[in-house]
Structure 1
Amino acid sequence: MRYGIQLPVQSQSTLYTEAWETDGTPADLVETARAADRAGFAYVACCDHVAIPRRLAPAMGTVWYDPVATLAHLAAVTTRTRLLSHVAVVGLRHPLETAKQYATLDHLSGGRLVLGVGAGHVREEFDALGADFERRGAVLDETVDALRAALGPEEFPEHHGKLYDFAGLGQRPRPAQPRVPLWVGGSSPAAVRRAALKGDGWLPQGDPRDRLPAQIARIRRLREEGGVEGPFTVGAIAEPLYVGRPGWEVGRRTLTGAPEEIAESLRAYRAMGVDQVQVRFRSRGRSELIDQITAFGAEVAPRLN
């Protein structure tokens, strides 16, 4: 079972942001990504929102770094870890624009992109950009198909759909990977179905442990019934973690303790059929976060498998 991390600072929802992140800097992002790279993390991830309406700002904040710019910046200071958009709201943009941005990122990073996509949930964001909020699920379905073509090996990709129609338009550079992994985010019935039938992986959004087995079983059933074959990565988002015994209040839901205790808890995800788990650490500053990342990579990760 692999492990990855959503980066600090780059998104600042009140649901998960630590107090120190409000004054976070690009240097905090760089050093965190470097620490994750050294510690063997499978990926570092960045979210996607263009603009947050005033009604949602108290909960979501307005700090949302652009994922392409952020991941490209971090590609230059890391060597191994993959670069995940978790998730790109690709229905806000034309597929050729999205393909140009992410193909360039994959090319520049030497083939380390994982393109996570989702339908989005902020109506005002769609309205401001002239995108269809009511039909965002259907838009995402076709956008995934169009991106498959546009991120494939052909210099002149071709797609003919109800919403998008293109051919004879060349785009270089091409992705470094023969097939860019495309993971679908979301936990609604439609999102799970989309992940099973169109994706190379699934990124659940907030599913507690007791819901995951049924969701994973449904994905497997849908893929079998649809005749879909090939590798598929099942993801999970773990509870907040703190390696060791914290000397401060980390919240009752946080998993704490010795490395073996934490690893034993996380191995339950593997037993469900999870292939990669996204972890998040409680911290009071960058140095403590990096210490947690380092301890996890050295002491917890070897016990996961």
Structure 2
Amino acid sequence: MQLPIQSQSTIYAEPWEAAAGPGDLRAIAVAADRAGFDYIASCDHVGVPRRLAPAMSTVWYDPVATLAHLAAVTEHVRLLSHVAVVGLRHPLATAKQYATVDHLSGGRLILGVGAGHVREEFEALGHDFKQRGAVLDEAIDALRAALGPEEFPEHHGKFYDFEGLGQLPRPAQQRVPVWVGGSSPAAVRRAALKGDGWLPQGDPRDRLPEQIATLRRLRLDAGIEEPIVVGAITEPLYVGRPGWEVGRRTITGAPEELAESLRAYRAMGVHQIQVRFRCRSRDELVDQTAAFGAEVAPHLDQ
């Protein structure tokens, strides 16, 4: 589940989120935890330029601060950065932040990474926007080292070079999962060759099978035998029969109906689905989250 409130793009934000705050965010995270959700996710933008603000808004919570805050009020749900634009920061700084989150949460971090798409962010922070793909490729390698078991990690590359600098605490996990976000050919290739998981950015159902086939072929050609977690973002959902207009793309109905529709993702080779519920308030979202966990999720493996 991508958390509401912490990012408020006009593409998906509900009107009630504009007036919501930390207490609402905590309540939703706790509801997801209690409902048995696998992860809650937070986005990443340092700054949104004026040209994009009308569509994207400027509400983007810092993912490290947000996930650390929510780690303290949850017990089981994993904490995903979806996605961290790691090319905006040095890998040692990123590793220090996310290793601390993993340590404090008892090993619940999933590091989702992406190349980014806002040119002004890169320029303001002194980074080359055109090099962001190459930088991300190396940053993943550098982060593997910096988030590994060694107190004094080491990496020598074109963009980053470090050794002899100790970082404690180490992550609680032996290997922090790195999931690569994006649906462009470059992103799919990056996920296939460097990722433990792939986070597509809203690919429609009819496009996913081809994307997944490409992902698998690239891994096979590279001789990579380890499994990869394949994700998907579903259509908006509403458990039950809404008495209000939820949009033509929203899937509604009884729990069994929703589950039948969502099982199609598993048939494509998807391992985890990210869901979003249409709702008019925090309380309605909490109720939808609980209903999905109790009434829909049990039918997904049938």
TM-score, length basis structure 2: 0.99
Q: Deviations over 1:118-159 (max 9, x none)?
A: 000000010000111011000000000000000000000010
Picking from 264, 272, 283, the partner of 2:279 is 283
Residue 123 of structure 1 is matched in structure 2 by 119
CA distance in 2, matches of 1:40, 1:31: 15
Give the match's secondary structure for 1:236: strand
Residue 231 of structure 1 is matched in structure 2 by 227
Q: Deviations over 1:37-89 (max 9, x none)?
A: 00000000000000000000000000000000000000000000000000000
Instruction: Note if 1:57 corresponds to 2:53.
Output: yes
Identity, in percent, stands at 80
Amino acid at match of 1:181: P
Residue 147 of structure 2 is matched in structure 1 by 151
Q: Deviations over 1:154-199 (max 9, x none)?
A: 0000100001011111000000000000000000000000000000
Q: Per-residue deviation at 1:7?
A: 0.4
Q: Per-residue deviation at 1:229?
A: 2.2
Amino acid at match of 2:263: R
Does the Cα contact within 8 Å between 2:152 and 2:167 map onto a contact in 1? yes
Residue 162 of structure 2 is matched in structure 1 by 166
Picking from 181, 187, 195, the partner of 2:183 is 187
Q: Per-residue deviation at 1:231?
A: 2.8
Residue 111 of structure 1 is matched in structure 2 by 107
Does the Cα contact within 8 Å between 2:145 and 2:155 map onto a contact in 1? yes
CA distance in 1, matches of 2:94, 2:47: 17
Instruction: Note if 1:201 corresponds to 2:197.
Output: yes
Q: Per-residue deviation at 1:19?
A: 0.3
Amino acid at match of 1:280: R
Q: How many residues align?
A: 301
Segments of 5+ residues of structure 2 without an aligned counterpart are none
CA distance in 2, matches of 1:178, 1:231: 17
CA distance in 1, matches of 2:34, 2:172: 23
CA distance in 1, matches of 2:247, 2:29: 25
Picking from 177, 185, 193, the partner of 2:173 is 177
- Superposed, which structure 2 residues align to 1:78-117 within 5 Å? 78-117=74-113
Q: Deviations over 1:67-113 (max 9, x none)?
A: 00000000000000000000000000000000000000000000000
Picking from 219, 226, 234, the partner of 2:215 is 219
Residue 251 of structure 1 is matched in structure 2 by 247
Q: CA RMSD, aligned part only?
A: 0.4
Residue 4 of structure 2 is matched in structure 1 by 8
CA distance in 1, matches of 2:244, 2:126: 47
CA distance in 1, matches of 2:88, 2:214: 28
Picking from 283, 298, 301, the partner of 2:297 is 301
CA distance in 1, matches of 2:120, 2:162: 28
- Superposed, which structure 2 residues align to 1:65-84 within 5 Å? 65-84=61-80
CA distance in 1, matches of 2:117, 2:204: 20
Give the match's secondary structure for 2:207: helix
Instruction: Note if 1:35 corresponds to 2:31.
Output: yes
Amino acid at match of 2:291: A
Segments of 5+ residues of structure 1 without an aligned counterpart are none
Q: Per-residue deviation at 1:206?
A: 1.7
Q: Per-residue deviation at 1:225?
A: 0.7
Q: Could you say which structure has the greater relative contact order, defined with CA pairs below 8 angstroms and 6 or more residues apart?
A: 1
Q: Per-residue deviation at 1:293?
A: 0.2
Does the Cα contact within 8 Å between 2:202 and 2:234 map onto a contact in 1? no
CA distance in 2, matches of 1:26, 1:181: 27
Does the Cα contact within 8 Å between 2:33 and 2:74 map onto a contact in 1? yes
CA distance in 1, matches of 2:4, 2:185: 29
Give the match's secondary structure for 1:124: helix
Residue 134 of structure 1 is matched in structure 2 by 130
Q: Deviations over 1:1-46 (max 9, x none)?
A: xxxx000100000000000000011001100000000000000000
Give the match's secondary structure for 1:13: coil
Does the Cα contact within 8 Å between 2:83 and 2:112 map onto a contact in 1? yes
TM-score, length basis structure 1: 0.98
Amino acid at match of 2:153: P
